[in-house]
Structure 1
């Protein structure tokens, strides 16, 4: 046998072995699945639905997220700690914990069953913590936080522009229906409502209202969060007026802001002439107050700590804060116009700039 023939023989043999090995692996996987399904089927036949739920939690749900207490914690003590330790200058945001506690009672107490989905609307300038708060809520409720399959985040203009409105509305209904059908305690977030096409939001109006079920799906234990910059300027101006009346920041209440937010929202963005406002389906309007210098300094320090810098120098702090401008006017430089958002990139840059002095 020539050298070329020997080489060809070994190549063909090696390819055959690889194909055989691949086939054996595939068959092994198939047989394993058949055995697993057979065992589960036999157990279900023996013990019924209750037994299936128990078996599922011990098998499938050990490896895959399920809609049960293992993956859905509703740890509102954790949420309260997150707000107090990681949220700056937002006294009314702490009340979200109590709002969710009331909603949680409706999940487990038959005497206090929820009569509708919980709907929160977060308003304020960019960079004041609205998305941060939504992420904290997701982290407190779901083991996987915002990455949970039972959390859905829609983005204003990206998901809801003004082309093919009816098609978009139908798609929205189908997506929300599917996620809540898979888990009644799902969290649905609509971000950047100010960039959303008007009228689309009304597609989910029945899901937010006082209905036992919509198309066979019960939404009463689900949570909807709307996030927008709408009303940010009005919140800031109203806060200045309250300061002028001698009311301190930590003394403000929801009623100081809700009428203003509702009025502005009803003529803006995705909320324009929306039945979610007109029919009072939003349960709580949460004003995020504009941040003052002390609050943005706390944000900057927190960002430095995230990068392992626990004692930044005065020069580093000055560089970090150099991107912050104050308003609402030059004559009243009280509130940070862009909140804390710019620190995400500014602080790493400052650390690199001063690296040799650390």
Structure 2
């Protein structure tokens, strides 16, 4: 009889175990618990593409390229169960064209907590890296922050504002995380999203738009192929240019690491929220 009952759990022990689980559920956030122990952790990553497209259509005036490129890149990336590299979006254009607005929308429609999500990280050179004399410490801290947060959750969003003011040394820290390797510093980072916001290329983008207007072409007829070369050249000419070696080039036949997203100068009477 003893052998027959070996391995069976008394009801009292089972009920006690259930009580402990219930107590844990009441104390802990089960989503966080799953995120911490789950093999396929998505954390609070809950993309709502329908909401994003609707909001962009209603509130981002005059930016047909930005709307199409952002949604297309995001859908392709998120729907890929095993991406080979992180999604890196590089937003270019003058101030007031909607770049920051789009970045906030992405956080809102990709993560349950929006910009307040613990997996959305926003950096500004002026605020976070203000002193050139502290650059070595900044580089160490930035590497540790990115690596640590990607270890905690591979579905993380990193927003870098005012990239034209970022010290090139800090971009060197980010380069290993942006390529197509499987693991960097022991961290799987291929599901991360990096977004860089810059005024670089804004003047050149506006010049292309002006030439189109002079040729009596509709604004919506401007294509990405017309803007990519001038953005790449502007990045090469900028002393604070960013990107991995070979990412920015005037030759479109060469592989780029970033997806350029141009923002046209706002037409008279139009507003970007």
Is the 2:243–2:257 contact (alpha carbons within 8 Å) kept by the matching residues of 1? no
Is the 2:51–2:109 contact (alpha carbons within 8 Å) kept by the matching residues of 1? yes
Correspondences of 1:283-294 after superposition (within 5 Å): 283-294=258-269
Higher helix content, 1 or 2: 1
* CA deviation string 1:48-81 (max 9, x = no partner): xxxxxxx988862258697556732111111111
Indicate how the Cα distance of structure 1 residues 221 and 273 shifts in structure 2: closer, same or farther if over 3 A, else same.
Answer: closer
Q: Say which of 128, 135, 145 aligns to 1:159.
A: 128
Give the corresponding residue for 1:133: 102
Deviation at 1:275, TM superposition (A): 3.0
Q: Which has the larger radius of gyration?
A: 1
Q: Say which of 162, 169, 191 aligns to 1:192.
A: 162
Deviation at 1:160, TM superposition (A): 2.9
For the pair 1:121 / 2:87, whether they are aligned, the reply is: no
SS in 1 for 2:94: coil
What is the total number of aligned residue pairs between the two structures? 246
Distance in 1 (CA, whole Å) between partners of 2:225 and 2:263 is 14
- Per chain length, whose mean CA-contact separation is higher, i.e. which structure has more relative contact order (CA < 8 Å, sep 6+)? 2
Indicate how the Cα distance of structure 1 residues 63 and 273 shifts in structure 2: closer, same or farther if over 3 A, else same.
Answer: closer
For the pair 1:250 / 2:250, whether they are aligned, the reply is: no
For the pair 1:262 / 2:232, whether they are aligned, the reply is: yes
Deviation at 1:219, TM superposition (A): 1.0
SS in 2 for 1:199: helix
SS in 2 for 1:260: helix
For the pair 1:235 / 2:205, whether they are aligned, the reply is: yes
SS in 2 for 1:257: helix
Tell me the C-alpha RMSD between the 2 structures.
2.9
Is the 1:117–1:221 contact (alpha carbons within 8 Å) kept by the matching residues of 2? yes
Deviation at 1:285, TM superposition (A): 0.6
Indicate how the Cα distance of structure 1 residues 39 and 168 shifts in structure 2: closer, same or farther if over 3 A, else same.
Answer: farther
Distance in 1 (CA, whole Å) between partners of 2:110 and 2:183 is 23
Distance in 1 (CA, whole Å) between partners of 2:30 and 2:124 is 32
For the pair 1:180 / 2:125, whether they are aligned, the reply is: no
Distance in 2 (CA, whole Å) between partners of 1:277 and 1:126 is 24
* TM-score normalized by the length of structure 1: 0.62
Is the 1:235–1:287 contact (alpha carbons within 8 Å) kept by the matching residues of 2? yes
Gaps of 5+ in 2: 1-15, 36-40, 250-254
Is the 2:44–2:113 contact (alpha carbons within 8 Å) kept by the matching residues of 1? yes
